[in-house]
Amino acid sequence: MNAPSGPVAGRLASAADDADRAVLEQVASGRHEAIGELYERYKTMTFALALRITGDSALAEDVVQDAFVGAWRNASRYEPGRGSVKTWLLSIVHHRAIDATRRRRPTTELPEGDGPTPEPLILPSPWMEVAGRLDRDAIQSALATLSVVQREAIELGYFGGLTQLEISARTGAPLGTVKSRMRLGLLALRTALRALGPPNEGEPT
């Protein structure tokens, strides 16, 4: 995916987002097989995410299946004001993948083992992207502006499924340091992404 950047990318992004929303509306109104269209658009992105988090191809397949069936089931609950369909799908895959890996590994953090996943984890709330659609190279260049330890803290949390406490134990950094690395890393990433994104989009004055 080599999307153009600049204002053209912004228009393409919103056209793609509108098309996704139209498909999801069809899904919600009973055209079940339309979920296959969303799957075709986002299969490589969602499978890459599930695979990165679970590290297991079979489990990643289960996660993606579970996520798309969940998206189908909850299509009518999707709120356009809270982010694009793509972001919504990614957040569902992310939460299910994290959930699946946490169930597999023993941990002292989870209070009751294999208990049911809390509702916030089943129906995550996506947020509006800060900079519209960007291609992967642009995103990676934005990520490269983070310090190594910031990036490590974010990746251990987002891809590793570790809690801040677990990251602290893993890296030896105090909990407060882990928290501020995550926060400062996200803020730095936000600044870098905004600098790359289409102008006049999403920037509150």
Partner 1 sequence: MTHRDAIEPITCDDVRDLAAGFVIGALSPADMQRLGAHLSTCTDPHAEIAELGGVVPYLAESLTPVEPPARLRNRILDAVAAEAVASEVRLPAPVSPIPTPVPPRAIESAPSVARRSGPWAGRRPVWAALGIAAVVAVVVLGSWNLQLRATNDELAAYQRGVAAVVQAASAKGAQLAILGDPKGASPAAGVAAVKADGTVAIAMRGLAPTTGTQVYEAWLIASTGAPVPIGGFQVGSGGSGTLTDGHGPTAASVVVALTLEPGPGATAPTGPIVVSGVALAQPG
Q: Segment 106-145, which members bind partner 1 (CB under 8 A)?
A: 108-111, 116, 118, 120-122, 124-131, 134, 136, 139-140, 142-143
CA atoms of 145 and 49, how far apart (whole Å): 22
Can residue 9 be called a binding residue for partner 1 (CB under 8 A)?
A: no
| Among 85, 96, 167, 198, contact with partner 1 (rule: CB under 8 A) | 167
Smallest separation (angstroms) from partner 1 to the CB of 79: 13
Site string for partner 1, 32-61 (x = CB under 8 A): xx-xx--xx--xxx-xxx-xx----x--xx
Can residue 173 be called a binding residue for partner 1 (CB under 8 A)?
A: no
Residues from 58 through 117 that contact partner 1 (CB under 8 A): 60-61, 64-65, 68-70, 72-73, 83, 86-87, 90-91, 93-95, 98, 108-111, 116
Smallest separation (angstroms) from partner 1 to the CB of 174: 14
CA atoms of 147 and 187, how far apart (whole Å): 12
